[in-house]
């Protein structure tokens, strides 16, 4: 056993790759046999990556690395199976591996950064709040998008420290912008952590942030698995004074039910809604109805991914409160937000940046 739920098997004296393939299948078959656990029938699965020496590596570290890469492929192909290492890795597999190997270190080495994207008032175009979006500045691979590393971070159990880092950084930066609300994305896995509410409470107190200035952006994924638990956590967060936004509205399946049951302050209409708006008149009607529904329920409504003037006019006309998108600003550094706020509200709108070191509790 070489860590957690990972095991290594060394097979020697093999003549062809058929032999490790046969052994791998035998291990999978054996592991799959149901067994009795406290009188209940249980079953486990196993996924295997196979690397051959000397072809795939000449030392322990490189053989294990190759086997690990093959394991990724096997997992991606659906688990409970094995895969042989292939020298050509897909780009996606390379990134997954990179994230797996280096993301933990990236948090410690301060390679993560936050950028902020304004949400503006639909009527005035002035900044109403900002959304924090994480970036990974990798020393050799350049800027890595959260779209690629968040899902791997979730799979590998790194989303909790990552999410905590993001929240701390956002609270620290929020101190520069008195009165401005800051949105932070919360992954479903992070939200379901037993001590999530406590952690948020601790962080906002530590950074002395008015709770009403922190807006957590949750997706439907948060609500589907254990609705009762989610509801309880949301109530606790609200009683602490935090704001809750339902992110990516319109991409899930039963959004309306969620809106009735769960106490959100805001809905954020997904960009894909707007994208299809020009193509078909129908989505325009949909966007219109969603905005109305949101307003009727007393919620704030933000439209995401607003890229052109036509969309802006339409959204303003149907009563959307806030707009976010490249038309107003791409996600930018905290310094650039300083500049925008100064330009709109004068010098008093911005406080000096505080020390940037974020101490993370040991994992
Ligand atoms: P999201 O929460 O829906 O964030 C909006 C994404 O749309 C951002 O991409 C933003 O840069 C992009 N965007 C904004 N306006 C426009 C526009 O006008 N046109 C186009 N084409 N795109 C626009 P980004 O920063 O790459 O983030 C992608 C996703 O990664 C986010 O989607 C969010 O789900 C996730 N994410 C980002 N930061 C974090 C984080 O700190 N924690 C967690 N859990 N997830 C995060
Ligand atoms: Ca978001
Ligand atoms: Ca979104």
Relative to the alpha carbon of 145, which ligand is closest? 1
Six-digit token string for 290: 């969603």
| Helical ranges in the chain per DSSP H | 18-32, 60-76, 91-108, 146-155, 159-174, 188-191, 196-206, 221-224, 227-240, 255-261, 271-279, 281-296, 309-317, 334-345
Q: How far away, in angstroms, is 93 Cα from ligand 1 center? A: 22
Residue pLDDT, tens place only, 263-306: 899 999 999 888 877 666 777 888 898 899 999 999 999 999 99
Q: Which residues contact 300 (CB under 8 A, 6 or more apart)?
A: 245, 265, 266, 267, 294, 321, 322
Sign, CA dihedral 259-262-263-264, equals negative
Six-digit token string for 197: 């509410």
Say yes or no: CB of residue 305 within 6 Å of ligand 1: yes
Q: How far away, in angstroms, is 40 Cα from ligand 3 center? A: 43
The lowest-confidence range among 209-218, 241-250, 261-270, 350-359 is 350-359
Cα–Cα distance for residue pair 71/49, rounded to 1 Å? 4
Say yes or no: CB of residue 120 within 6 Å of ligand 1: no
Residue 191: closest CA among 219, 168, 170, 171: 219
Question: Residue 196 class from Cβ within 10 Å (0-12 exposed, 13-18 middle, 19+ buried)?
Answer: buried
The answer on pLDDT for 362 being more than 60 is no
Cα–Cα distance for residue pair 61/288, rounded to 1 Å? 57
DSSP one-letter string for 76-119 = HTTSSSEEE--S---HHHHHHHHHHHHHHHHHHTT-EEEEEEEE
* Rg of the chain (C-alpha set): 24
- pTM here is 0.80
Residue 360: closest CA among 112, 100, 141: 112
Q: How far away, in angstroms, is 307 Cα from ligand 3 center? A: 14
Q: Relative to the CA of 145, which ligand 1 atom is closest?
A: 26
CB 233 within 8 A of CB 212: no
CB 116 within 8 A of CB 332: yes
The protein residue with its alpha carbon nearest to ligand 1, atom 2, reads 185
Q: How far away, in angstroms, is 133 Cα from ligand 1 center? A: 6
The protein residue with its alpha carbon nearest to ligand 1, atom 46, reads 185
Cα–Cα distance for residue pair 345/73, rounded to 1 Å? 52
Relative to the alpha carbon of 166, which ligand is closest? 1
Which pLDDT score, from 0 to 100, does residue 115 have?
A: 97
Say yes or no: CB of residue 113 within 6 Å of ligand 1: no
Q: Relative to the CA of 304, which ligand 1 atom is closest?
A: 15
Six-digit token string for 51: 């690397």
Which pLDDT score, from 0 to 100, does residue 216 have?
A: 98
Q: How far away, in angstroms, is 348 Cα from ligand 3 center? A: 31
The lowest-confidence range among 18-27, 83-92, 109-118, 218-227 is 83-92
């Amino acid at each position: 056993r070489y860590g957690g739920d990972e095991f290594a098997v060394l097979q020697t004296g093999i003549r062809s790759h058929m032999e490790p393939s046969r052994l791998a299948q035998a291990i999978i078959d054996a592991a799959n046999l149901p067994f009795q656990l406290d009188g209940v029938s249980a079953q486990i699965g196993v996924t295997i990556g196979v690397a051959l020496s000397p072809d795939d590596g000449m030392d322990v570290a490189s053989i294990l690395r190759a086997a690990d890469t093959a394991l990724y492929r096997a997992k991606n192909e659906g688990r409970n199976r094995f895969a042989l290492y292939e020298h050509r890795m897909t780009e996606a597999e390379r990134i997954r591996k990179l994230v797996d190997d280096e993301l933990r270190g990236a948090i410690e080495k301060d390679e993560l950064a936050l950028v902020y994207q304004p949400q503006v008032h639909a009527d005035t175009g002035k900044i109403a709040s900002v959304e924090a979006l994480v970036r990974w500045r990798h020393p050799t691979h350049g800027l890595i998008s959260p779209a690629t590393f968040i899902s791997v971070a979730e799979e590998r159990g790194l989303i909790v420290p990552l999410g905590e880092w993001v929240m701390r950084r956002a609270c620290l930066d929020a101190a520069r912008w008195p009165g401005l609300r800051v949105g932070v994305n919360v992954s479903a896995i992070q939200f379901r952590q037993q001590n999530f509410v406590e952690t948020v409470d601790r962080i906002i107190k530590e950074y002395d942030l008015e709770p009403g200035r922190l807006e957590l952006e949750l997706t439907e994924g948060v609500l589907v698995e254990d609705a009762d638990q989610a509801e309880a956590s949301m109530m606790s967060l609200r009683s602490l004074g935090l704001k809750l936004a339902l992110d990516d509205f319109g991409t899930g399946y039963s959004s309306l039910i969620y809106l009735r049951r769960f106490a959100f302050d805001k809905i954020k209409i997904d960009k894909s809604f707007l994208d299809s708006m020009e193509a078909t008149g129908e989505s325009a009607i949909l966007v219109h109805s969603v905005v109305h529904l949101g307003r009727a329920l007393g919620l704030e409504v933000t439209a995401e991914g607003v890229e052109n003037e036509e969309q802006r006019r339409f959204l303003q006309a149907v009563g959307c409160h806030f707009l976010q998108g490249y038309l107003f600003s791409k996600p930018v550094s905290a310094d650039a937000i300083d500049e925008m706020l100064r330009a709109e509200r004068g010098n008093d709108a911005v406080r000096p940046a505080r020390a940037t070191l974020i101490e993370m509790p040991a994992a």
